Structure 1
Amino acid sequence: MVTDAAILEAVGEVADPEVPVLTIADLGVLRGVRHEGDEVVVTITPTYSGCPAMDLIRHEVELTLRSLDVDGRVETVLSPAWTTDWMSESGKAKLVDYGIAPPSGAGPVMLRLSVRCPLCGSPDTTELSHFGSTSCKALWRCNTCREPFDHFKAI
């Protein structure tokens, strides 16, 4: 029999289809694993309601459960709502390595002094568009190295 810890570790390695260097564990989308009788229930929370990646994430989690020969299902929970506070420090470091500025700070911040460029580290940056390649990201440009980059919004 596969332990809950082994199941959690295996499904936690499912990649985010929008930012493939991140896993659902890195993002904090994976909320937990529990047993209901003989069935394993994996709980996930989308980064925002209506996130198109959730169908693929659900499918990949189901495939992972089958590969472990585990009878299970995936349950989506919307409350409490996902927050960037759930992202792991490792996941934030992966974003920087991938060229995306990670969310910073805890809780809502109405004043943003700057977003550091993940390419050169300069704080001299400008938001070009509040909406980037996905709804979770904004498009920024570094005024030092002149390169555009995504910033994972703090939610």
Structure 2
Amino acid sequence: MVTDTTDTTATTGTTGTVLEAELRRLAGSVPDPELPVLTLEELGVLRGVQILGPGRVEVELTPTYTGCPAIEAMASDIERVLHDHGIPEVSVVKVLSPAWSTDDISAEGRRKLAEFGIAPPRPGAVDGPVPLTLAVRCPHCGSTDTELLSRFSSTSCKALRRCTACREPFDHFKEL
């Protein structure tokens, strides 16, 4: 149970405190309600955790897109996890700027998506020109010979594709 708020002055070597880092780990471990193979940390929607006072914590979330219906479930799950670990007052706030991007998905998150059968979004360029990649790799057989079946799949952030090599359909997490 995370209840010792006297740790809040010990630094972690990064920004925040030891307790904030532990609370971030707990909040970040919550599975995404639409993609339960990913945690909120791996998805990149968890932006920050701050201790506001004894027993009071604020968690910042950025939705994958404005109006994302999963944000309410994410907030409820975070509140439950932190309450279960001894934090009586948890507020979850939406942060819209900077906007979430598929570049925010961690390398581990991309690996898990592919392992789960969802083609991960292609990483964006950090600096310089944007690379043009037209192919989407099949998460089942690895072929880049795939076709778009529908611009939308089970969620708005995914497209439905089919591999023409192995003939298996799959979701592709669209780049944003």
TM bucket normalised to smaller: over 0.9
**Alignment match, 1:22:** 38
Partner of residue 113 from structure 2, selected from 82, 92, 95: 95
Residues in 1 aligned to 2:130 and 2:168: alpha-carbon distance in whole angstroms? 25
Higher relative contact order (CA 8 A, sep 6+): 1
**Alignment match, 1:12:** 28
Letter in 2 for 1:120: C
Residues in 2 aligned to 1:90 and 1:112: alpha-carbon distance in whole angstroms? 21
Other structure's SS at 1:141 match: strand
**Alignment match, 2:139:** 118
Other structure's SS at 1:138 match: strand
* Distance apart, 1:134 and its partner CA: 0.4
Query: Percent sequence identity over matched residues?
Result: 53
Structure 1, residues 108-137: CA drift from partner, whole Å, max 9, x if none? 969542100000000100011111110010
Matched, 1:149 2:165: no
Residues in 2 aligned to 1:52 and 1:109: alpha-carbon distance in whole angstroms? 30
Structure 1, residues 22-44: CA drift from partner, whole Å, max 9, x if none? 01001001001012233211100
Structure 1 vs Structure 2 CA RMSD: 1.5
Residues in 2 aligned to 1:18 and 1:109: alpha-carbon distance in whole angstroms? 29
Partner of residue 134 from structure 1, selected from 148, 155, 174: 155
Larger Rg: 2
Partner of residue 81 from structure 2, selected from 53, 59, 64: 64
Matched, 1:80 2:80: no
Residues in 1 aligned to 2:38 and 2:95: alpha-carbon distance in whole angstroms? 20
Residues in 2 aligned to 1:67 and 1:80: alpha-carbon distance in whole angstroms? 30
Structure 1, residues 24-80: CA drift from partner, whole Å, max 9, x if none? 001001001012233211100000011111111100000011011113211111111
Other structure's SS at 2:31 match: coil
TM-score normalised to structure 1 length: 0.95
Give the number of aligned pairs: 155
The answer for unaligned runs of 5 or more in structure 2 is 6-18
